[in-house]
């Protein structure tokens, strides 16, 4: 088991996650689904160690992450946020090399081995040709692939992604989805992604966790969890869920508010 969440409680002033238990299998691609404000991003922040739970435990390979030093945790687990706004006009290579910081000592600079890791990550995400470009001049899809490359440069076992295709046009959505599927398959990186895109989740994820009002509604294999009844319970929306022969996965067509 890569990640386990056991009876987790967490609260802000007006929101709470309550008694959340989730198991993420090693090498799996797990999707977090639910309406706005259900706790998807909060759960990702808890999994990454950015937030600490009030009660319960999060463990990485059986070891509570609360007891893992931040630098050591960053070598095992990387985060791809919804948006990245660097403070300075970094080049793509500089952005990606930031992923090597957990592997460097105090005041240590990146060496040839770190550059090789960064170039490999850029190549894996199809962005090596952009290495010298200023990051802020890139398109949305290019930026997202570069941030995924920066996460890969950490050499993580687990990748946490928050809305990885948000604000991208259809072509870039398909491109990023194909990239994640390939990285999961070829590099065996365990992935947990939060998304509003049910069809993205259907095409990518082998496991789903459905969240509503800070609680786990359902979890399990995508083919079992992603049903019209579950979508109605989750979003109060009637939807048709069918296997699409040409796409090769389930597809979701929202019909109306229930």
- We report the CATH number of the domain holding residue 106 as 3.40.50.300
pLDDT for the residue 1: 64
Q: Which residues contact 85 (CB under 8 A, 6 or more apart)?
A: none
Record the tokens describing residue 131, joined without a space: 């290495």
pLDDT digits (tens, 9 = 90+) for 155-177: 999 999 999 998 888 988 999 99
**Maximal CA-CA distance, the chain:** 58
CB crowding 1-31: b at 16 or more within 10 Å, else e: ebbbbbebebeeeeebbbebebebeeebbbb
**pLDDT, mean of residues 29-58:** 94
pLDDT in tens, 47-66: 999 999 999 999 999 999 99
- Nearest partner of 77 among 166, 201, 192, 185, judged by Cα: 192
Range of the domain at 22: 3-257
- Going from the C-alpha of 219 to that of each of 14, 37, 66, 149, 216, the distances in angstroms are 25, 18, 25, 29, 7
Domain count, the chain: 1
pLDDT at 12 over 90: no
Measured between alpha carbons, how far is 42 from 57 in angstroms, rounded to an integer? 15
d(CA 66, CA 69): 8
pLDDT digits (tens, 9 = 90+) for 218-246: 999 999 999 999 999 999 999 999 999 99
pLDDT number for residue 2: 87
Q: What percent of the chain has pLDDT over 70?
A: 100
């Amino acid at each position: 088991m890569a990640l386990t969440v056991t009876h987790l409680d967490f609260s802000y002033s007006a929101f709470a996650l309550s008694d959340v238990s989730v198991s993420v299998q090693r090498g799996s691609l797990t999707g977090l689904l639910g309406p706005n404000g259900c706790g998807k991003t909060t759960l990702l922040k808890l999994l990454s160690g950015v937030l600490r739970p009030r009660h319960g435990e999060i463990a990485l390979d059986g070891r509570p992450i609360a007891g893992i030093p931040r630098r050591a945790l960053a070598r095992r687990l990387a985060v791809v946020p919804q948006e990245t706004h660097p403070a300075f006009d970094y080049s793509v290579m500089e952005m990606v090399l930031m992923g090597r910081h957990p592997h460097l000592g105090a005041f240590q600079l990146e060496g040839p081995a770190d550059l090789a890791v960064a170039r490999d990550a850029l190549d894996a995400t199809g962005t090596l040709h952009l290495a010298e470009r200023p990051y802020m001049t890139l398109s949305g899809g290019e930026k997202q692939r570069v941030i995924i490359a920066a996460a890969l440069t950490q050499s993580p076992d687990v990748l946490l992604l928050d809305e990885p295709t948000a604000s991208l046009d259809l072509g870039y959505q398909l491109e990023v989805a194909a990239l994640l599927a390939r990285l999961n398959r070829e590099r065996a990186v365990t992935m947990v992604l939060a998304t509003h895109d049910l069809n993205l989740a259907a095409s990518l994820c082998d496991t789903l966790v459905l969240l509503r009002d800070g609680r786990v509604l359902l979890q399990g294999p995508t083919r079992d969890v992603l049903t019209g009844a579950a979508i109605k319970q989750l979003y109060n929306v009637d939807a048709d869920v069918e296997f699409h022969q040409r796409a090769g996965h389930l597809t979701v067509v929202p019909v109306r508010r229930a």
